[in-house]
Amino acid sequence: MKVLLVEDDDRIAREIEHALRDSSYIVDRAIDGEEAWFKGDVEDYDAVILDLGLPTMEGVTILKRWRENERQFPVLILTARGTWAERVTGIDAGADDYLRKPFQMPELLARLRAILRRSTGRASSVIRVGPVTLDMLRKTVDVDGCDVGVTVQEYRLLSYLMHHEGRAISSSELVDHLYANDVHRAENAIEVLVGRLRRKLGVNIIHTKRGFGYMVDGGGS
């Protein structure tokens, strides 16, 4: 999952970024409003963590512009102010959740998982497709109750496909959501990653749709 972190306080941003990367998220950061607005308007993110008090453009203004341009990614707002009126303004502008500073990192991660679940119509941190279970909290994968040892990239790939069960996803989209922007990326790396993951799972839930990409479907055997 690829997250845009919009935070101008370097200390806070580094702490959040470290926690996100430890939780297997790909993180892109913006340090001011103009940069955040541009990145959110041209890149596809799975979620955004947005501070309200930003240089060059206020967070609420950015959010309103994204929503006006039909950018639908879930947004978790961070703020040091946090009055009830400000919370109402942020939610009315299109925020999915609100977290007041100072906060505990486990709560931020839990709220991020929650808005990601809601954005894909899921109610639990555990996703099941056929015999395969992915636990977003524990970062584990098992097949019929037996743990499968996966790498970080394999976990990211399976998580993205399972979050979008039933939809064919192109290699280029997978590249965008599995790798950081500053990493050299090749679409044939996805083919290799899919093949490796299929062998580890040992069950046929990742299907290739010629001309469209890859899709997770629990109907295979």
What's the pLDDT tens digit per position in 11-36? Answer: 999 999 999 999 989 999 999 999 99
Among residues 61, 155, 78, the alpha carbon closest in space to that of 112 is found at: 78
pLDDT at 140 over 80: yes
CATH 3.30.70.1170 fits 2-119, yes or no: no
pLDDT at 182 over 60: no
Report pLDDT for 184. Answer: 58
pLDDT at 172 over 80: yes
For the chain, where do the domains classified as CATH 1.10.10.10 start and end? 126-216
Report pLDDT for 217. Answer: 87
Name the pairing type of β-strands 132-135 and 126-129: antiparallel
Q: Kindly indicate the confidence band of residue 221, based on its pLDDT and cuts at 50, 70 and 90.
A: very low
For the chain, where do the domains classified as CATH 3.40.50.2300 start and end? 2-119
Check if the beta carbon of residue 76 is closer than 8 Å to that of residue 47: yes
Identify the CATH assignment for 126-216 out of 1.10.10.10, 1.10.760.10, 2.40.50.140, 2.40.10.230. Answer: 1.10.10.10
Q: CA 72, CA 51: separation in Å to the nearest integer?
A: 18
